[in-house]
């Protein structure tokens, strides 16, 4: 976005991202991230996300994670909550079935193409038959897969997804 530093651009962002990842990053994903981040932030804003502003009214960006320029769009100290609120609002507005705070013990893709989630409800366990072509599990916590992480979310969500294999079209 370069709202704070006009010298910033996607190539500098890409270099900072690769260096921050000790060059272990997936090159193509880091490139897409650097190129598309400004458009995704503006898209979030169009969907209703509120970001802190500069005196000129542009989205304020701050320093983050050893990057050369300030490029983190934020909302004080509650950026994550704002993004969750915005994305939940967007998904619900699309008439998508949303199961919030739903504990899933197992996710199965059966031969008929339906997704089934084993989910405890109340005092009894039962399977929820989702019957969908796709299931999105927005759980967080993947950072806990690493020995050292600043990710505070815990839980078995990543392990729940792995047996399902990669996304299918």
Q: 13, exposed or middle or buried, with CB in 10 Å at 0-12, 13-18, 19+?
A: buried
Give the containing element (helix H, strand E) for 13: helix 10-20
Please enumerate in sequence order all residues whose Cβ is within 8 A of that of 75, keeping only pairs 6 or more positions apart, or say none: 49, 50, 51, 52, 81, 82
- pTM over 0.75? The answer is no
3-state secondary structure of 144: helix
Residues in the chain, total: 169
Give 16-49 pLDDT, tens digit per residue: 999 988 899 999 999 999 999 999 999 999 999 9
């Amino acid at each position: 976005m370069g709202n704070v530093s006009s010298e910033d651009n996607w190539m500098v962002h890409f270099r900072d991202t690769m260096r921050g990842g000790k060059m272990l990053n997936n090159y193509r994903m880091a490139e897409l991230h650097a190129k598309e981040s400004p458009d995704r932030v503006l898209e979030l804003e169009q969907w209703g996300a509120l970001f802190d502003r500069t005196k000129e009214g542009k989205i304020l960006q701050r320093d983050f994670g050893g990057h050369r320029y300030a490029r983190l769009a934020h909302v004080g100290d509650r950026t994550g909550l704002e993004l969750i609120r915005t994305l939940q609002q967007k998904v619900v507005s699309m008439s998508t079935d949303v199961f919030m705070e739903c504990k899933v013990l197992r996710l199965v893709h059966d031969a008929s193409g339906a997704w089934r989630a084993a989910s405890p409800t109340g005092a009894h366990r039962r399977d929820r038959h989702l019957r969908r072509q796709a299931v999105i599990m927005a759980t967080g916590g993947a950072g806990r897969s690493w020995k050292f992480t600043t990710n505070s979310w815990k839980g078995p969500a990543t392990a729940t997804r792995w047996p399902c294999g990669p996304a299918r079209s």
